[in-house]
Amino acid sequence: MSTENNVLVTGGAGYIGSHTIVQLVENGFNPIIADDFRNSDISVLKGLEQITGRKIDHHDVDVCNCDELKILFKNHPIAGVIHFAADKAVGESVSNPLKYYRNNIGGLVNVLDLCSEFGIKNFVFSSSCTVYGEPKEEKEVSESTPLSKANSPYGNSKLVGEQILLDLHNSGATMNILSLRYFNPIGAHPSGLIGELPVGKPNNLLPYVTQTAIGKQNELTVFGKDYPTPDGTCIRDYIHVCDLAEAHVKAILLLQQKESNFIDQVNIGTGKGTSVLEIINSFEGLTGEKLNWKFGPRREGDVVEIYANVSKSFELLNWKCKYTFEDAIQHAWSWEKNLAQHA
């Protein structure tokens, strides 16, 4: 296989990373995982092997350890990098901001340093809709929506990350850079062999829902019921993780076509907002499971309502969602039941 197809995926054993590995293999790429499994489980490698029919090259490397990372870059010809490795819990970032700045910004700088040193041309950054902060008037945000103060250190780490990339671009660096501004990934691979596997209590809504339904969690807490939304709960743009994964392949393919010193940012979402209560009601309706849930206080750092304008993702990447919201719920539930069977 040509080394032009070697793509280093930092955080490649994580939720979005693992699904992206599958898409990369299916599109003829040779992914190399760098992941220290702090936010993931080594069992995902078995699932990846079952889905792809091959062993995935993986390395237990912390991106904050520049020496470890440099050995990986030295020993593997790499044509492109997809950088996922980061901590990602909004609430935890509020209580432990230094951890988020150390890992999310320090790790990014380390990877970029080595990309520059080893002449790696293409770089895809895992950004977030949190860079828009709390939308002032129009809740549908486009890439031209002004970026604003993030509601959490996690969001700020993504905002600073994008600024670092812009500064690098403006310095004349030859690297091609694309930041994907994710909205809220949900679901699992249709095979039920990989999915979201939170360490400890889930921070994201749907795994909290499925774990409550299966009995891993006693009760689901809905944070806030008095937001200025139709049902009083927060509204997000929930995107199937396999659709999000495919966008990364499209991003690498786009960058491979560029000469040098290209930079852009693009929203990756569905264009539709869904409330927390709509998720709960949809899950109960689709699965027949009755959830034990209650309202709790608002959670610090949460945005009230946001969803994506997705026209640029289609124009730039020729990408759009294939899976429905209902697919994502069904696939997440299949994954949760599969975990329970093999526990």
In a domain, 92, yes or no: yes
Sequence-ordered list of residues with C-beta below 8 angstroms from that of 212, at least 6 positions apart, any chain: 218, 219, 220, 291, 292, 293
Contacts for 51 with CB less than 8 Å, ≥ 6 apart: 22, 189, 191, 193, 194
State the chain's mean pLDDT as an integer. 95
Identify the CATH number of the domain in which residue 121 sits.
Answer: 3.40.50.720
Identify the pLDDT of residue 322: 96
- The answer to the question of residue 217 being in a domain is no
pTM of the complete model? 0.96
Structural domains of the chain, count:
1
Catalytic annotation on 154? yes
- What pLDDT score does 147 carry? 92
For 15-59, how does the pLDDT look when each residue is reduced to its tens digit (9 = 90+)? Answer: 999 999 999 999 999 999 999 998 888 999 999 999 999 999 999
Looking at residue 242, what DSSP letter applies? H
Domain contains 247: yes
Predicted confidence (pLDDT) per residue in 124-143, tens digit? 999 999 999 888 878 999 99
Distance, CA of 343 to CA of 341 (rounded, Å): 6
Residue 339 lies in a domain: no
Domain enclosing residue 42, as ranges: 3-187+239-269
214 inside domain: no
Q: What is the average pLDDT across 107-127?
A: 97
Is residue 98, in this structure, part of any structural domain at all? yes
Let me know if residue 163 belongs to a domain: yes
Tokens of 42: 């080594």
Q: How far apart are CA 230 and CA 171, in angstroms?
A: 46
On whether residue 102 sits in a domain, the answer given is yes
Catalytic annotation, pick one of 132, 154, 238, 307 = 154
- Look at residue 3 and tell me whether its pLDDT is greater than 80: no
Query: Which distant-in-sequence residues (6+ apart) come within 8 Å of 63 by Cβ?
Result: 10, 11, 34, 69, 85, 107, 108, 110, 111
CB atoms within 10 A of CB 282: 17
| Whole-number Å distance between alpha carbons of 167 and 173 | 9
